Amino acid sequence: MAIRRATAADAQAIAAIHVAAYDETYRGLAPPEVFEGLNLERRTGQWRRFFAEPPPDAAAFVIEQDGEPVGFGSNGIDRSGIVTIGWIKAVYLLKRVQGQGLGLAVLATLAEDLAAKDAREVRLDVAVGNDRAEAFYQRLGGTLLSSQIDPGPIWKSPTRTYGWNDVAALASAAGRAARHG
């Protein structure tokens, strides 16, 4: 397993994982029209735009297993408040590689990257019904901070925000768990 910073050359591979993992995770939770709108063409365009005009302080990482991309994670920073807050925007793994510590490893990488950008706290949103992800974040000490409706654009899903008051502690906990299975 290897985790590396993603580049523009990874846009299509990330898009393919995004579509497949989203389908594996949210089929049955999200309305059917969501899957029509979030296809490979649309996701590829989104990721190409991300790399062409990256948001400030944002990063994406690719997870490879045996040289094949099998997941990705992305993050960003909110510097609008008194405390700099890091946001984990996405963690997607193909179902066939889940449960192998890859999610922990990429979460540790994302948190370390946020800490290097001076984030003190970290947040992430999870769609209600993604019970496996919620349990994963709770095991790592995530605290439920709020519930809200994601604004979309296609699926206005009910979501929950989890947070950690110490981004370095999250990086350490996820890294330890990844190393020890």
Determine the Cα–Cα distance for residues 173 and 159; give it in Å rounded to an integer. Answer: 24
Listing DSSP states for 37-84 in one string gives HS-HHHHHHHHHHHHHSPPTT-EEEEEEETTEEEEEEEEEEE-SSSS-
Q: Which residue has the higher pLDDT, 37 or 112?
A: 112
Sheet-wide strand order for 59-65: 2-5, 59-65, 68-78, 85-93, 121-127, 158-164, 143-149
- The full length of the chain comes to 181
For the segment 38-86, what is each residue's pLDDT rounded down to a tens digit? 889 999 999 999 999 999 899 999 999 999 999 999 999 998 889 899 9
C-alpha 89/C-alpha 96 separation (Å) is: 22
How far, in Å, CA of 175 to CA of 42, rounded? 33
Q: Tell me if 96 sits within 8 A of 66, measured CB to CB.
A: no
Dmax (CA) for the chain in angstroms is 43
Whole-prediction pTM value? Answer: 0.93
pLDDT value of residue 180? 67
> Residue 148 class from Cβ within 10 Å (0-12 exposed, 13-18 middle, 19+ buried)?
exposed
How many Å apart are CA 106 and CA 178, to the nearest integer?
9
Place of tokens 């350490």: 172
pLDDT at 1: 87
Q: Which domains does the chain have, with CATH numbers?
A: 2-180 (3.40.630.30)
| pLDDT score recorded for residue 154 | 75
What does the block give as tokens for 65?
């297993």
